[in-house]
């Protein structure tokens, strides 16, 4: 591993599961009898804003009661101690990587802790609810929505992520099912670029066959030893 300088880590819901945040699969893909795909879309927000805002208000409140686990802590240690390039790309909209101390984090699916005003395009830090349609702190319009990326929308900072993948020597995917694109395609992008790939997941993901190596188990048990290993190399 001595030839590794630049690392891209992709994390998904599985890294926060042991902090008590349901993965999309754990929840059975259902919320109040609605498929997650039917709530996490701009069309659903247009059709039934109350339903969608209630879903996100509940989750925004829940994440603020949760705490980083040993996997978040290990990745924060990697961030502190790894002298080479590192990008932690997370699909998660919680802030547990940051609360563990990681700094080189990219939220490709946005964050629960911002509200986005579709009238003035300003994003404001937000910890409360949106269901009562509060005014935008910037322009005063009542046009706030959760600052998360729904199906059919463009994930954030894709240019930076692809640039990091092009420079990477190692791509590590942690706690993600490999079901949602474009993140699910990063392993194929890495393969095409000749980047070494490693999967750390509870079980084989949908993209498992594309990885050079897979290690299976709970994130709190497989991530810390991997970080120890890479920092010792
Ligand atoms: C553990 C564990 C433990 C459990 N330890 N592990 C047909 C083909 C291909 C693509 C498409 C298609 N039709 C439509 C598309 C595109 C679409 C898509 O992918 N759809 C699929 C359903 C097929 N994608 C989009 O629309 C995206 N935009 C887009 O593509 O724009 C065009 C574009 C093109 C080219 C380049 C760039 C852009 C946008 C996707 C937005 C996803 N948004 C959501 C909601 C965010 C807000 C919210 O939180 O509500 O993001 S959906 C949801 O899925 C959320 C997650 O970030 C995302 C991924 O889920 P994740 O993290 O993988 O969670 P799970 O639950 O699925 O898996 C957990 C894993 O952890 C499991 O494997 C467990 O085993 C494991 N695990 N406990 C370790 N303790």
Do 200 and 229 touch, CB atoms closer than 8 A? no
CA dist., res. 58 & res. 65, Å (int)? 11
User: How far is the centre of ligand 1, averaged over its atoms, from the C-alpha of 26 (Å)?
Assistant: 14
Quick check: helix, strand or coil at residue 134? coil
Q: What is the predicted pLDDT for the residue at 54?
A: 93
> pTM value?
0.96
The tokens describing 3, both together, are 């030839």
Helix axes 70-81, 219-232, angle to 10 degrees: 20
Do 102 and 134 touch, CB atoms closer than 8 A? no
Spell out, as residue ranges, where the chain has pLDDT lower than 50: none
Minimal-distance CA residue to ligand 1 atom 80: 218
Do 79 and 88 touch, CB atoms closer than 8 A? yes
Residues with CB under 6 A from ligand 1: 12-14, 17-18, 23-25, 40, 91, 93, 109, 148-155, 158, 175-177, 179-182, 201-203, 205, 218-219
Ligand 1 atom with the shortest distance to the CA of 24:
66
The single-letter DSSP state of residue 112 is E
Q: What are phi and psi of 227, to 5 degrees?
A: -65, -45
Ligand 1 atom with the shortest distance to the CA of 218:
5
User: How far is the centre of ligand 1, averaged over its atoms, from the C-alpha of 109 (Å)?
Assistant: 9
User: How far is the centre of ligand 1, averaged over its atoms, from the C-alpha of 203 (Å)?
Assistant: 16
Q: What is the predicted pLDDT for the residue at 38?
A: 76
Q: What is the predicted pLDDT for the residue at 35?
A: 79
Helix/strand/coil (H/E/C) assignment for every residue in 46-76? HHCHHHHHHHHHHHHHHHCCCCCCHHHHHHH
């Amino acid at each position: 591993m001595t030839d590794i300088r630049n690392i891209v880590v992709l994390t998904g819901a599985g890294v926060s599961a042991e902090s008590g945040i349901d993965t999309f699969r754990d929840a059975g893909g259902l919320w109040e009898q609605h498929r997650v795909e039917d709530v996490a879309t701009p069309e659903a927000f247009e059709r039934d804003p109350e339903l969608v805002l209630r879903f996100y208000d509940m989750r925004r409140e829940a994440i603020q009661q949760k705490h980083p686990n040993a996997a978040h802590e290990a990745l924060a240690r990697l961030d502190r101690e790894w002298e080479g390039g590192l990008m932690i790309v997370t699909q998660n909209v919680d802030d547990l990587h940051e609360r563990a101390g990681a700094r080189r984090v990219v939220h490709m699916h946005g964050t629960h802790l911002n509200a986005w005003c579709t009238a003035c395009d300003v994003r404001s830090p937000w910890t409360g609810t949106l269901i009562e349609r509060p005014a935008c702190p910037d322009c005063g319009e009542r046009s706030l929505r959760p600052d998360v990326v729904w199906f059919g929308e463009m994930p954030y900072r894709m240019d930076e992520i692809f640039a990091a993948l092009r420079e990477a020597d190692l791509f590590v995917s942690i706690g993600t099912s490999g079901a949602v694109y474009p993140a699910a395609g990063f392993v194929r992008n890495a393969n095409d670029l000749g980047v070494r790939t490693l999967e750390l997941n509870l079980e084989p993901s949908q993209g498992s066959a594309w990885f050079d190596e897979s290690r299976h188990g709970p994130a709190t048990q497989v991530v810390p030893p991997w970080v120890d290993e890479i920092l010792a190399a």
